[in-house]
Chain A
Amino acid sequence: MIRLIRRLALSATCLALTAGIAGAWTLEEAAKPYKGTQISVIFLDRPGYRAIMKMLPDFEKRTGIKVNYEIVPYESTLEKEVRDFSSNGDLTVALVDLVWIGTFADSDYIVSIDDLKKQFPNIFDPNYELSDFFPLLLNAFGTWNGTVYGPPFDNYSGLLFYNKKMLKDAGFDKPPDTWDDLLKVFAPKLTQNGKFAYALQSRRGETQSCDSFMRFIWPWGGSLLDAKFKSNLLSQQSQEGLNFRQQLIKYMPPGIVDFDHIEAVNALAQGQVAMITEWSAFYSTLADPKSSKIVDDLGVAPEPKGPAGRKPALGGFSLAVAKQANDNQKAASWLFIQWATSKDTAKEYVENGGVSGRQSTYKDPELVKKYPFIEPMVESWQQGVPEFRPRFAEWPQLSEIVAEVGTNMMIGSTSIKQGSEEIGKRVEDVLSKAGYYDGKKKLAQ
C-alpha cells in the first residue's frame, strides 16, 4: 500500500514536473545555450524589414543572440544569396522569395522544419502553430515538393489602390469589380485633362514579368505553362488576357514601360492616375502624408476579377535556416525566425509596418479597422494561385525572357501573337535544357 502511494506520489511529481517544463517554454530559456551566437541574414529596404529591425533589440536582449543584417536591393538579393550559399559563406538565414524556393530547396541550401525539429527539439515553441498561417502563403512561399522549409515572413498580395475623389468626380461611388468594367466603364471617363485612369508598372525586369505580364494571364484563365510544361501562351485565354493589357495601355500614362513600382505608386500618390494595382506593402507609402497627396482619398480594394475569377498577384518571402550554418547558428537562426513570425510579435509587427501571414492576427477588429488594406488582402489570400510565377529554379531565366519580349509587346515592336510565340519557343528551350521534357526532372512549379 505504502509502495503504491509512494509510486503514485512519484508519478504525480513527475507529471507535475513535465507539465511545468512544457508550460514554461520561454524564448529566454530556449535560447540560453546559444547566448552570444551570431547569425546573419539579408534584409530588404521595405516596410516589413524596417518593422523587424525596430523590434530586433528586444530579441537580442532576451536571447543574447546577435542578429547581423545587411540591407540589399531586391534585384541583387538572389545573386548575393546564391553566391554566398554556393561558396560556404556566412549567411545563416535564407531570405526566400516565393520564386526562389525551388532553387534553394533543390540546391540543398536550406533545412526543412522537420529536420530542424529532429535536431533541436527544445527550441520549438509549442504554441507556434504553423497551421495558423494562411495555407496559400505557407504553401507558396515556404513549401517545396511537400516539404515545409520556413514560415511566411514578408507577405504581399496585389491590391487595387484608387483615388476616391477622382472616381467620385467621374460619377463612380465604388471601384471596378471586374477588369472588363475597369476598361470599358471606368477608364474612358477617368482619362482626361492630362490624368489617366490606370498605371501598370511594366519596367523591364521582374516588374514586367510578374507585375505586368502575369497579372493579365491568370485572371483570364491563361497560364505560362500547361500541364506538360509546354508554353500555354498561345491558348485563347492567355491571348485574350495579353490583348486586354494592350487595349488598356491607351488609358495609362505615356512611357508606361519605364514605370517601376516607385513610378506607379507616385503616379497615384500625386493624383496623376486614378487606379493602380500594386503590392499591399505600398499601403504605408500611400497613406503617409509625407509621400502622398491623396491620404484622405485613398481607397483599397481587391484586384478586379477576370473572366476566370479573381487571381491577384501573389508575392512574398519566407525565412529559412541555411544548411551551411553551424549547429549553434542553426538553432539561433530558428529561434530568430520563430520569434519574428510568432503569434506574440505579429501585432507589433503589423503596427510597425509589417504584414503578418497569420490568420489569427487579422481577427483583431481594432487592427482591421486601423489598416484598411487588411480586409481586401485577406480576401485575396483566400483564392490565389501559388504558381502565379513558376517557382522552379529556371524562373529567373524565364523571367528575363518574358521581361524582354513583354516590354517589346507593349511598345508595339512585336505583335502579341509573335511575342507569345517567341516567349514560348525560348521558354521551352530553357526547360528542355533543364531536363523537364525527357523525364529527368519532376514537373514541379
Chain B
Amino acid sequence: MPTAKKSYSTGAFWFVAPAMIVLLVVGIIPLLFALWTSFQQFILPKVHFKGAFAGIWPIFDAPFVWLSNYRDLLFDESFRDALGRSFLFLIINLPIQVILGLIIALLLHRPGHEWLKNVTRIALVIPMATTFAVVGLIGRLLFNGDFGINNYFWNLFFGHKMEWLADPNLAFVSISIMDCWQWTPFCALVLFSSLTMVPIEIEEAAKLETDRWWHILRKVQLPFLLPGITAILILRTADILKMFDVVFIMTRGGPGAATELISIYIQRIGFRSFEQGMASAQAIVLLIITIILSRLYIRFIYREV
C-alpha cells in the first residue's frame, strides 16, 4: 500500500526519548553553553553565579562582547602556532598509525598460527584500554633521561644518552611515539575486522590469479578497507586535535612551547588564565575545523563497497 501514511506511535517516541535526553544533557547543552560563553568576556574569577534558568541553564553576570573573542583569536600568534603544531602532529602520526596498523592487520589475516594470533589480538587491546594519564606516566618513565629504558638501549647501541623530554624536537618525537604506541593497535583492529569482511571465495580466486600481495590488497581488499580507513581518519583526527592528557603529563607543553598542542593551549587559556570566553571561542573554532576535515574525508575517501 503505497499511500500508507507514515505515523509514529507514542511507543516509538518513548523508546527513542531516553537516548535523546541523555545526548541533550551530556552533549548538546554543554556545547550550546560553550557557544554562548564564547560571545562573552567570561573571566571565571570575575563572574558571579546568578542561579539557573529552568534548572539546567546556568546564568552568570558576564558582559556580552559579540564576536570580539573570535576576532582576537585570529590575531593570536600563539593560537596559530599551537594549531600549526597540532596539524604537524596529525600529518606525521596519522599515516604512520594507519600504515603500521595495516601491516599488523595483514599479518593477522594470514592463515595459520591461530593461537599466537589470538594472543596478539588481546595484546592489541591493552594500549587502547590504558588510561591516558597512565600512558603519560609510562611515557615519562620510558623517556626519562637517567633511568628510562629508551636511554638504556640508546646508550647500549650508540654509547651516549639522549635528552628525550628536554630537547624541543625530541620531546615532539617522544609524544608522537607514545601516541603511535597507544593508537596503532586501534587502527590494526579496525582494519583487521574490515579484512574479514572480504568474501573468502573472491580472495581465494584472486590468489589463484596472482601471487603479488599488493595486487590483492589494491584490487580486492582495499574496497573493503575504505569504510574502516574513513572511520579511523575521522576518529583519529578528532582525537589528535583534542589530544591533551598524555602530552600534559609528559611535557606540560614544554620545553618552551615545543609540544604545546592546541588543546594544551586552550586549557591554558581556560583554566590557567581563566578566560573561559576566549577558550570557548577557540574550542568552537577547533570543533568547526574537525567537522570540515571529517566531511572532506567522507567526500574523498569513503566509498560503499
Which chain A residues have a beta carbon within 8 Å of chain B's beta carbons? 78-79, 82-83, 86-88, 103, 106-107, 109, 203-205, 208, 253-258, 267, 272, 393, 396-397, 399-400, 403-405, 407-408, 410-411, 413-414
Contact = CB atoms under 8 A, between A and B. Distances in A.
A400 B268 contact: yes
Nearest to A260: B252
Contacts of B252: 203-205
Contacts of B274: 82, 396
Given A87-B58, A255-B166, A203 B254 contact: yes
Interface residues of B, number: 31
Given A79-B271, A400-B273, A257 B255 contact: yes
B44 interface: yes
Contact of B145 (A88, A253, A397, A400): A253
B174 to A, nearest CB: 10
Interface stretch (B6-14, B46-54, B226-234, B293-301): B46-54
A411 B168 contact: yes
13 contacts: A78-B272, A79-B272, A106-B45, A107-B46, A204-B253, A258-B251, A258-B254, A272-B146, A396-B272, A400-B273, A405-B256, A408-B257, A413-B256
A interface majority secondary structure:
helix
B215 interface: no
B16 to A, nearest CB: 32
A208 B256 CA distance: 10
B272 A400 contact: yes
A253 B146 contact: yes
Contact of A407 (B163, B254, B268): B254
A81 B140 CA distance: 28
A361 B132 CA distance: 44
A397 B272 contact: yes
A267 B256 CA distance: 23
Contact of B166 (A208, A258, A272, A397): A258
- The majority secondary structure among interface residues of chain B is loop
B255 to A, nearest CB: 4
Given A204-B254, A411-B168, A413-B256, A254 B163 contact: yes
A407 B163 CA distance: 14
B165 A255 contact: yes
A411 B167 contact: yes
Given A106-B45, A254-B145, A404-B254, 15 more contacts: A79-B272, A86-B44, A86-B45, A107-B45, A203-B254, A204-B252, A204-B256, A257-B254, A258-B251, A396-B273, A397-B273, A400-B273, A404-B256, A404-B257, A407-B256
B161 interface: yes
Contacts of A399: 272
A325 to B, nearest CB: 15
Contacts of A408: 255-257
Nearest to A81: B45
Contacts of A400: 268, 272-273
Contacts of A404: 253-254, 256-257, 260
A6 B188 CA distance: 99
Contacts of B44: 82-83, 86
Interface string B154-167: 00000001011111
Nearest to A104: B45
Nearest to B171: A258
A213 to B, nearest CB: 13
B47 to A, nearest CB: 6
A204 B166 CA distance: 10
A103 B165 contact: no
Nearest to A85: B45
Given A400-B272, A403-B254, A254 B49 contact: no
B40 to A, nearest CB: 14
A410 B168 CA distance: 12
B84 to A, nearest CB: 16
Interface string B246-273: 0000011111110010000000100111
B146 to A, nearest CB: 7
Given A88-B49, A103-B45, A411-B166, A258 B256 contact: no
B47 A86 contact: yes
B253 A255 contact: no
A267 B298 CA distance: 52
Given A107-B45, A413-B256, A256 B166 contact: yes
A256 B146 CA distance: 11
Interface in B161-203: 161, 163-168, 171
B122 to A, nearest CB: 33
Contacts of B163: 254-255, 258
Determine which residue in A272, A397, A399, A404 has the highest number of CB atoms from chain B within 10 A of its CB, and name it: A404
A254 B166 CA distance: 8
B165 to A, nearest CB: 4
B255 A87 contact: no
B48 A86 contact: yes
A403 B253 CA distance: 10
A398 B272 CA distance: 10
Contacts of B168: 411, 413
A88 B272 CA distance: 20
A422 to B, nearest CB: 11
A87 B274 CA distance: 14
Nearest to A106: B45
A255 B145 contact: yes
Contacts of B167: 255, 411
A404 B255 CA distance: 7
